[in-house]
Structure 1
Amino acid sequence: MATPRRLTREERQRRVAGLAETQDGLAHRRQLNALGVSHADVRSEVRAGRWALRGRHTIHLGVALGPRAPWWTAVWESGGGAVLDGAAALVAHGLTGFFPAQIDVSLPRNNRRRHVNGTRLHLRSAMPPALSAGVPRVRPEVAAIHACGWSRSDREAALILCLVIQQRLTTPARLLEQWQTRAAKAVERPRRTTLDHIVLDVCDGAHSLGELDVGALCRRIGVAAPERQVVRTLPNGRIYLDARWKDHPLVVEVDGVQHTKGLAPIDDALRQNEVTLSNDRVLRIPVLGLRLRPDEFGSQLVRALGPRDMRVVVATSCDNDTHPALRD
């Protein structure tokens, strides 16, 4: 069998230019071989110092490395069939505002595998649904659930869920469907119990804490229950206040996820300004704040009402309605 003709330097550069551009300066040996760039060609470029080895399979083609280069390396060097998963997959899908400390990679359990610095491997008997265009990565709604299970805290997990929906990496319906089918295996208790309610919050505004959970918080911290859905007439029309204390100029507004979308922040600001100008004070409490940091928001509520307005409330059977995320 005849030995393949060695390519010239110019031919090599011309053939790999497309890979270098689309893969952040990297190529897999298999891809190079498919383009007619032999092992001998690679060896010549590496010896000349124009290319560099980044593992058994990954070749740096001599151009500036792009921001996704660590992902390509992690996937190619971890083992056959590997894909980005968890928060790394979400960032590859376009997630902003969150920076994972390491790269999570899933790969088939029976495949050969190698440890890559900065990479955490997850062996799968059944691989999750993934996308192959660009860096191979798990679909965003599934990656989000896995990221919740691998997060360092409930707060971090909640942040990931919020960002995924707010930045429209997937739809609420897809996230909710995947949560209902995968969460039991991906997220351990008690985190799953807390996140069950958070997923409903970020996927469907009808499942927010709202006025009932403000009442639950009041019972927990021992203050009088407010009036709910109080109608006020302001210069810009009639509005409904989530909670207000009789004979006290304090209003609490509970903000669901819908308050972060579109022009809602502008409408909320105008609404709050009008309430403030009518001599009421306004405390805003995000739904997720009541989920994750109820004690701190409860403390603010106590300080806002003041000692003279405190009323110790004796727990009754109605406390069974307290939202699970607010129970002791």
Structure 2
Amino acid sequence: MRPAERRAMVARELGGRHDGVVRRQDLYDLGLTYDQVQAEIDAGRWHLVGRRSVSLVGPVLDAKAQRRVATWEVGAGAVLDGVTSLVEAGLTSWQESVIHVSVAKGTRVRPRPGVRIHHQRRMGRTLGTEPPRTAPEVATLRAAAWAVSDRQALTVLAMPVQQGLVSPQRLLEEWETTQRHRRRALLQEAVPLVCDGAQALSELDFARACRRHGLPAPSRQEVRHTAQGRIYLDVYFEDYGVHAELNGAHHYLKLAPVADARRRNDRALEGDISLEIPALGLLLDEAAFMEQVKRALWQRGWRPRSA
């Protein structure tokens, strides 16, 4: 077989399978010899992008090909993990400068530029995709652990649920079996909020926050009859016409924001001041949200006893 025919065969059999990158072993399995592969590399038609990996399309790899090559090059059993696994699964609106790869503890690894290797005592559930990756519930909790700040951790915890990449039930079950976590105290509060929605942030919790900030306790949960039917207002200060909705992650899924907007508009048309308080936002920045509640109450005539 002439070199041009051989290259055409490789492109046909392997080129489209792995985003233009192939393992050397795949080329050998196809019948090529070491010398034939090396001749293509030396001629600049193919490009060596790792000890085991060859690019058929150029020396610069796109993000997807880089993730694939990382699992080939790092070590035996390497899988994409953390936010990299989530991006591979379809997470949008997220940028990450490094590729996160996990291997079982004790695995011999080869460092690679732009790749952060994590050694796991417990790998957790993995998926036999190409490239292989951890299951979304595992990846989500690890992404939160590896985030650079608590704010980023809560963001990456909520986004996979909001985008439908992981079910709340699977995430909650995985958290309940997680023995070690860098941000255990934070996630002990945050995971139930993400998985169970506003139910995890009870009226009692909000009432405690009101006391901490010197605000009156909410009057009660209100039942109202609207064009949407019977609805329950999470928090209502009856004496002042101030309403607050404690929104968990499920409020940002699919058409839920539409229903929430109608509810807020109904309250505005009734003359109430209506506030939206994301449950994770209250956890991360309680003072700022309670200051907004205070301002709303102040506008409606409330004054602290010392005033």
Match of 1:23 among 18, 23, 28: 18
For the Cα contact (< 8 Å) 1:86–1:104, is it kept in 2?
A: yes
Shift of 1:65: 4.3
Asked if residue 11 in structure 1 is aligned to residue 6 in structure 2, the reply is yes
Asked if residue 37 in structure 1 is aligned to residue 36 in structure 2, the reply is no
Residue ranges of structure 1 left out of the alignment (5+ in a row):
1-5, 314-328
Deviations 1:205-257 (A, max 9, x none): 37421422221211111011121212344465543322222331321121122
Residue ranges of structure 2 left out of the alignment (5+ in a row):
none
Partner of 1:317: none
Partner of 2:131: 135
Asked if residue 91 in structure 1 is aligned to residue 87 in structure 2, the reply is yes
For the Cα contact (< 8 Å) 1:254–1:285, is it kept in 2?
A: yes
For the Cα contact (< 8 Å) 1:89–1:140, is it kept in 2?
A: yes
Match of 1:309 among 297, 302, 305: 302
Partner of 1:253: 245
Asked if residue 295 in structure 1 is aligned to residue 287 in structure 2, the reply is yes
Deviations 1:238-294 (A, max 9, x none): 433222223313211211223223332222222211211111111111111111111
1:38 corresponds to which letter in structure 2? T
Partner of 1:3: none
- 197-206 vs 62-71, which deviates more? 62-71
Q: Distance in 1 between the 2:259 and 2:91 partners?
A: 27
Q: 1:77 to 1:173 in 2, by over 3 A?
A: same
Asked if residue 225 in structure 1 is aligned to residue 221 in structure 2, the reply is no
For the Cα contact (< 8 Å) 1:26–1:69, is it kept in 2?
A: yes
1:114 corresponds to which letter in structure 2? R
For the Cα contact (< 8 Å) 1:254–1:286, is it kept in 2?
A: yes
Partner of 1:82: 78
Q: How many residues align?
A: 304
2:91 corresponds to which letter in structure 1? L
For the Cα contact (< 8 Å) 2:80–2:133, is it kept in 1?
A: yes
Partner of 1:161: 157
1:246 corresponds to which letter in structure 2? E
The residue matched to 1:284 in structure 2 has which SS?
strand
Which runs of structure 1 show a deviation greater than 4 angstroms over 4 or more consecutive aligned residues? Answer: 63-66, 233-238
Q: 1:54 to 1:219 in 2, by over 3 A?
A: same
TM-score normalised by structure 1 residue count: 0.85
Shift of 1:312: 5.4
Partner of 2:55: 60
Aligned pairs for 1:190-269 (under 5 A) are 191-205=183-197, 207-234=199-226, 237-269=229-261
Partner of 1:316: none
For the Cα contact (< 8 Å) 1:224–1:310, is it kept in 2?
A: no
Q: 1:264 to 1:206 in 2, by over 3 A?
A: closer
Q: Distance in 2 between the 1:10 and 1:193 partners?
A: 61
Identity of aligned residues (%): 40
Partner of 2:170: 174
Shift of 1:43: 1.0
For the Cα contact (< 8 Å) 1:26–1:59, is it kept in 2?
A: yes
The residue matched to 2:63 in structure 1 has which SS?
coil
Q: 1:105 to 1:290 in 2, by over 3 A?
A: same
- 215-224 vs 259-268, which deviates more? 259-268
The residue matched to 1:282 in structure 2 has which SS?
strand
Q: Distance in 2 between the 1:136 and 1:236 partners?
A: 45
Match of 1:47 among 42, 63, 86: 42
Aligned pairs for 1:96-111 (under 5 A) are 96-111=92-107
- 37-46 vs 59-68, which deviates more? 59-68
Query: RMSD of aligned C-alpha atoms?
Result: 2.2
